[in-house]
Amino acid sequence: MHGLINRAIQCYYRDTYGRDAWIGIVRELDLAFSGFEPMLHYPDEVSHAVINEIARVLDKPREGVLEDLGTYLVSHPNVEALRRLLRFGGVTFIEFLNSLDDLPGRARLAVEDLELPDLELREHGNRSYSLTLHCDGNGFGHVMAGVLRAMADDYGALVFLEHRGSGGAIETLDITVFETDFSEGRSFELGAEAS
Amino acid sequence: MQTALDTLCPMHVVLDDTGHIVHGGPTLSKVLDEPCIGKRFLEVFELKRPRAVQSMTDLREMSGITLHLRMRDATKTSLKGVMIPVASTGQFIINLSFGISVVEAVRNYALTSSDFAATDLAIEMLYLVEAKSAALEASRTLNQRLQGAMIAAEEQAFTDTLTGLKNRRALDHVLARLSEYRSPFSLMQLDLDFFKKVNDTMGHAAGDHVLLQVARILVEETRSDDTVARAGGDEFVLIFHNTWKAEQLAEIAARLIKRLEEPIPFGSQTCRISGSIGITCTSQYDTLNLGRIFEDVDIALYASKHAGRGRYTFYTDDLRDGDVLQGIQAVS
Buried b (16+ CB within 10 A) or exposed e, B130-159: bbeebbeebeeeeeeeeeeeeeeeeeeeee
**Residue B327 in this model has a pLDDT that exceeds 70:** no
Residues of A in contact with B152 (CB under 8 A): none
Do residue A79 and residue A156 come from a single domain? yes
- Check CB contact under 8 Å for B127 and A109: yes
- Check CB contact under 8 Å for B106 and A190: yes
The number of angstroms, rounded, from the C-alpha of B126 to the middle of its chain's C-alpha atoms is: 32
Q: Is residue A116 part of a domain?
A: yes
Do residue A115 and residue A143 come from a single domain? yes
- Check CB contact under 8 Å for B142 and A39: yes
The number of helix segments (H) and strand segments (E) in chain A equals 8, 4
Do residue A79 and residue A111 come from a single domain? yes
pLDDT-derived band at B330 (thresholds 50, 70, 90) equals low
- Check CB contact under 8 Å for B113 and A84: no
- Check CB contact under 8 Å for B131 and A85: yes
- Does A111 lie at the interface with B, CB-CB under 8 angstroms? yes
Considering the entire predicted model, what is its pTM? 0.65
Q: Is residue A65 part of a domain?
A: no
Among residues A97, A1, A17, which one has the least CA distance to residue A55? Answer: A17
Q: Is residue A192 part of a domain?
A: no
- Does B134 lie at the interface with A, CB-CB under 8 angstroms? yes
Write down the H helix ranges in chain B: 2-8, 26-31, 41-44, 56-60, 102-108, 122-156, 168-180, 195-202, 204-220, 246-260, 290-306, 317-320
Q: Is residue A184 part of a domain?
A: no
Q: Find the mean pLDDT for residues B282-298.
A: 89
Q: How many CB atoms lie within 10 A of CB B29?
A: 16
User: CATH for B168-330, among 3.90.1480.20, 3.60.21.10, 3.30.70.270, 3.30.450.40?
Assistant: 3.30.70.270
Looking at chain A, how many residues does it have?
195
Do residue A52 and residue A90 come from a single domain? no
Do residue A80 and residue A173 come from a single domain? yes
pLDDT-derived band at B24 (thresholds 50, 70, 90) equals very high
- Does A88 lie at the interface with B, CB-CB under 8 angstroms? yes
Structural domain that includes position A46: 3-60
Point out the residue among B110, B126, B138 whose CB comes nearest to the CB of A38. Answer: B138
- Does A4 lie at the interface with B, CB-CB under 8 angstroms? yes
Contact (CB, 8 A) for B229 and B166? yes
Contact (CB, 8 A) for B68 and B46? no
Do residue A79 and residue A55 come from a single domain? no
Do residue A36 and residue A81 come from a single domain? no
Residues of A in contact with B27 (CB under 8 A): none
Residues of B in contact with A109 (CB under 8 A): 127-128, 131
pLDDT-derived band at B143 (thresholds 50, 70, 90) equals confident
Q: Is residue A12 part of a domain?
A: yes
Point out the residue among A7, A109, A189 whose CB comes nearest to the CB of B131. Answer: A109
Q: Is residue A70 part of a domain?
A: no
Residues of A in contact with B102 (CB under 8 A): none
pLDDT-derived band at B326 (thresholds 50, 70, 90) equals low
Taking only the tens place, the pLDDT of each residue in B181-215 is: 888 999 999 999 999 999 999 999 999 999 999 99
Q: Find the mean pLDDT for residues B237-260.
A: 92
Closest approach of chain B CAs to the CA of A128, in angstroms? 25
What is the average pLDDT score of chain B? 89
Do residue A83 and residue A124 come from a single domain? yes
What does the pLDDT read at residue B183?
A: 87
Q: How many CB atoms lie within 10 A of CB B68?
A: 15
- Does A102 lie at the interface with B, CB-CB under 8 angstroms? no
Dist. CA B37–CA B24, nearest whole Å: 7
Residues of B in contact with A5 (CB under 8 A): none
**Residue B325 in this model has a pLDDT that exceeds 80:** no
* Nearest-Cα residue of chain A relative to residue B111: A190
Contact (CB, 8 A) for B59 and B42? yes
Helix/strand/coil for B244: coil
Taking only the tens place, the pLDDT of each residue in A137-185 is: 788 999 999 999 999 999 999 999 999 988 888 999 999 999 998 888 8
* Domain locations along chain B: 2-120, 128-154, 168-330
Q: Is residue A100 part of a domain?
A: yes
What does the pLDDT read at residue B289?
A: 87
Say which CATH number the domain at A133 has: 3.90.1520.10
Q: Indicate which of A42, A98, A99, A190 best probes the interface with B, i.e. most B CBs within 10 Å of its own CB.
A: A190
Say which amino acid occupies B218. L
Do residue A175 and residue A122 come from a single domain? yes
Do residue A87 and residue A51 come from a single domain? no
What does the pLDDT read at residue B4?
A: 92
Distance (Å) of CA A45 to CA A50, A134, A168, B149 = 9, 19, 19, 26
Q: Is residue A28 part of a domain?
A: yes
- Does A23 lie at the interface with B, CB-CB under 8 angstroms? no
- Check CB contact under 8 Å for A88 and B130: yes
pLDDT-derived band at B236 (thresholds 50, 70, 90) equals very high
CATH code for residues B2-120: 3.30.450.260
Taking only the tens place, the pLDDT of each residue in B58-112 is: 888 889 999 999 999 888 899 999 999 998 988 999 999 998 889 889 888 888 8
- Does A84 lie at the interface with B, CB-CB under 8 angstroms? yes
Do residue A79 and residue A175 come from a single domain? yes
Among residues A64, A69, A84, which one has the least CA distance to residue A4? Answer: A69
Do residue A56 and residue A85 come from a single domain? no
Say how many domains are in chain A: 2
Q: Which residues of chain A have pLDDT under 70?
A: 193-195
| For chain B, percent of residues with pLDDT exceeding 70 | 97
Burial of B64 (0-12, 13-18, 19+ CB in 10 A): exposed
Residue B50: asked if its preceding bond is cis (omega within 30°), the reply is yes
